[in-house]
Every structure is written in C-alpha cells, then in structure tokens.
Amino acid sequence: MQNVERTMVNQLRRHGFDMDVIEQTPTPFYCYDMNLLNRTIGRILQETAGAPYVVHYAIKANSNPHILSTIAHSGLGADVVSGGEIRVALNNGFKAENINFSGVAKTDWEIQLGLECGIGCFNVESSAELQVINDIAGKMGKTAPVAFRVNPDIDAHTHRFITTGTAANKFGIAMDELDSVIDLSQRMNHVKLLGLHFHIGSQITQMQPFVMLCDTINHMVERYNRLGIHFEHINVGGGLGIDYSSPDEHPFAPFRDYFDTFKKGLAPLHGMPIHFELGRAIVASCGTLISRVVYIKENKGKKFALIDAGMNDLIRPALYGAHHVIQNLTSNERACETYEVAGPVCESSDVFATDCHLPLTRRGDILAIRSAGAYGESMASCYNMRPLPACVCCPAPEN
C-alpha cells in the first residue's frame, strides 16, 4: 500500500474500504460496503417492527447478485419491472409470493412468466394491460393477483426525469378512470383485485409529498369501503431520497421520519398491510465507484482530471445533473485545486463534477465517487465498447 495517510486509511476502513483490495483491483469498479448495507437493512427492520409493513426492495436500483442475496436473506420482498428482474430475483433467493411486478408496458412473455412463477402481485397500469393479464391467466388456467397503480397527481418536487406521479407522466391509472377499471376487473374471471399501488417519484427528500399521498390514500380507501370494495393491501411505492452531499455524516436515509409519516398519515387504515418499494434508500450509500486518474490536463486555465470511469459506468451526473461527492484516496497533498472531473467517453456530458475541490491530483491517483450504489451499476452500459464495470464487495462474500 503506497501513498495513503494512516488517518485516511482508518477513515476508509470505517466506511468499508480495504485499500489493498482497492489498489490491486483494475479500475474502474464498484466497491460495496456490505456492512453498511446490512446496517441499513437493520434500520429498516427496526423502524417497521410491530407495524403491518411489508418492505420490498426495488431491484432496478441495483441487481448485483451479492446485493440481492443479502437483501433477500434479510426477509425483504422484491419489486420488479421486467421478466429479467423476476428471474434475477428468484435466482438470488427472493420467494415468488414476495415479488410485486410493476411496469407500464409488461409484455406477454413477462406476464406469463410472472403467472408461471406465482408472483405475489401485478401492479397494473391500464385497462388495456388488465385485459391482457386476464386473457393470459385464463389461457393458463390461473387467477392473477392484481393491484391498480393509481396516478394521484402529486408533485414529488424532484428531478423531472424521476417524477412519476403527476398527470403529465405516463405512469398509472388516472383517478377519474379508476372506478371503471375496478368495475371491469370485477367482471373478469381470471384476476383478483388485491389493492392499490402508488409511486410518486424518486430521490424525495421532503416528507410533504408523502403526507399528501397518505391523505389521498385515506380518502380513496374510505370511499371504496363505502362502495363495498375492500382492499387487502395498499402499496405506497418507494422514492425516499438520501443525502448525496454528506455521505459520511448521513449514511442512512431518514427512515424514522419516513415510516413515521406513514404511521401517522395512514392511521385511519387501522392495521391494513402497507407495502413499500424502496430502492435508492437501501443501496445508494453502500456503493462507491472507484476510478483512477489517467491524465491531468489544462485548457485555458481550467484543470481537468480525466479518469478511467465514464458515463457508461455511472450515468447519473450526465443524465440528471446528479451530484456525487468525489474524494482522492491516494493524494497526501495539503494544497487543493479545483478540477473538472471527466471520463473518457466521447460526449461532452461525460463529466462527474465541474467544480471539484481535491488535494493536488496526479496521474495514477485513485478517486472515489461516493453514494453510487443505486442506479449506478444497474444503469451501466457498454457505450464506446467499454466493458461493464467490475464490482468488489467488502468484506468479500463467503462463497
């Protein structure tokens, strides 16, 4: 191990990094702090203990098999959005009955696969989809368990690409169409209506949108109860955000506030099972993208640190302008410089940070791009014929 100050090493160890592994592994790669993942799951279990809450993990956030099997073995269910995710969930230890299948355009083979495996619930997004599910289930001699995804027209005040619950979005069934879709389902022979499903967006850091969601749910459930329609569960979706600016000070999402918001907000529902589908809040903090500086270059006074990770490895900054803290793990310099940290991909948007303050940085230094556990590895591509990023778990899995 060269170049690394003792204090820095200790700090890194606390956050699950093993510098020997980091220095010896070819970059770029994702490094997962499995202790932090386990502690995060522990907090969720603690905050939901005693409440009729069923937490599903939204697999799209990170479908790395080590992450999945850790989460599956902790007893959480899975939220999937494709046939591929159904398979990966089953292969990594999730039970079929604990899988909810969301997605706005489920294809026939995906519906068939879900029915064959006996998944817990299809979250249905249109009457057209309901019709297809009923037909396929009929042909297979099965009954499909369904919930209707409602578009509650609530603005989650997050990035427009990850807002899903307003009337302008493609997701869900409009509230004024729900009566007719429920009516339709009751005249079908091969679907069983279990509940209602909502998901208003992602990286939501204020509780207000969730408070509004609770009000909407209470009114809807009360109204349907009066009409003699009784749901078996309500699924409130996911969306809880994390603190991308202070990964070390706030490694956990505000789980207590979040679950308390629903405990208070949904009090009128008296013990009805509530499903959650959290992705980011479970896995974002435990992942770090590790990369090496390839060149330092200056253009008209502006310094660039060009690294070997690109937007194909982590697309969030390029796609959403997302901010991830970047640290130099190997520089001992006291003096700092401002760098644009950019990748090798032939796109001007392949930039991780424009005004990044780092200790003097040189070719060969190792940079850590933090809070990259959610929507990092799972959104990676081979653009520019680059290989998919590798991954390392700390500590390494036992098998």
Q: 277: number of CA atoms within 13 Å, CB side?
A: 28
User: Is 310 a residue that touches ligand LLP (CB under 6 A)?
Assistant: no
User: Is 247 a residue that touches ligand LLP (CB under 6 A)?
Assistant: no
Question: Which residue blocks in the chain are alpha helix, DSSP H?
Answer: 6-14, 19-24, 34-48, 65-73, 83-91, 108-117, 127-140, 175-186, 208-226, 255-265, 280-283, 316-320
Among 77, 104, 107, which Cα is nearest to 90's?
77
User: Is 237 a residue that touches ligand LLP (CB under 6 A)?
Assistant: yes
- The dihedral over CA atoms of 308, 311, 313, 316, expressed in degrees to the nearest 10, equals 130
Beta bridge partners of 297: 304
Residues 213, 120, 32, CA angle at the centre, nearest 5°?
75
Find the shortest distance in angstroms from Cβ 332 to ligand LLP: 33
Residue 203 or residue 285: which is nearer to ligand LLP going by CB?
Answer: 203
Residue 221 or residue 240: which is nearer to ligand LLP going by CB?
Answer: 240
User: Is 239 a residue that touches ligand LLP (CB under 6 A)?
Assistant: yes
Find the shortest distance in angstroms from Cβ 133 to ligand LLP: 17
DSSP string, 377-389: GGG---GGGPPPP
Residue 235 or residue 330: which is nearer to ligand LLP going by CB?
Answer: 235
The residues in 80-109 that bind ligand LLP, with binding defined as CB under 6 A, are 102
Q: How many CB atoms lie within 10 A of CB 265?
A: 20
User: Is 313 a residue that touches ligand LLP (CB under 6 A)?
Assistant: no
What's the alpha-carbon Rg for the chain, to the nearest Å? Answer: 23
The residues in 262-281 that bind ligand LLP, with binding defined as CB under 6 A, are 277-281
Peptide bond into 254 cis (omega under 30): no
Find the shortest distance in angstroms from Cβ 159 to ligand LLP: 7
Residue 16 or residue 209: which is nearer to ligand LLP going by CB?
Answer: 209
User: Is 375 a residue that touches ligand LLP (CB under 6 A)?
Assistant: yes
Q: Give the 3-state secondary structure percentages of the chain, helix then strand then coil, rounded to 5.
A: 35, 25, 40
Contacts for 219 with CB less than 8 Å, ≥ 6 apart: none
User: Is 162 a residue that touches ligand LLP (CB under 6 A)?
Assistant: yes
Dist. CA 20–CA 17, nearest whole Å: 9
User: Is 210 a residue that touches ligand LLP (CB under 6 A)?
Assistant: no
User: Is 203 a residue that touches ligand LLP (CB under 6 A)?
Assistant: yes
User: Is 199 a residue that touches ligand LLP (CB under 6 A)?
Assistant: yes
Residue 240 or residue 306: which is nearer to ligand LLP going by CB?
Answer: 240
User: Is 316 a residue that touches ligand LLP (CB under 6 A)?
Assistant: yes
CB 128 within 8 A of CB 104: no
User: Is 33 a residue that touches ligand LLP (CB under 6 A)?
Assistant: no
User: Is 79 a residue that touches ligand LLP (CB under 6 A)?
Assistant: yes
Q: Which of 36, 61, 221, 289 binds ligand LLP (CB under 6 A)?
A: 61
Site residues, ligand LLP (CB under 6 A): 58, 61, 79, 102, 162, 199, 202-203, 237-240, 277-281, 316, 320, 375
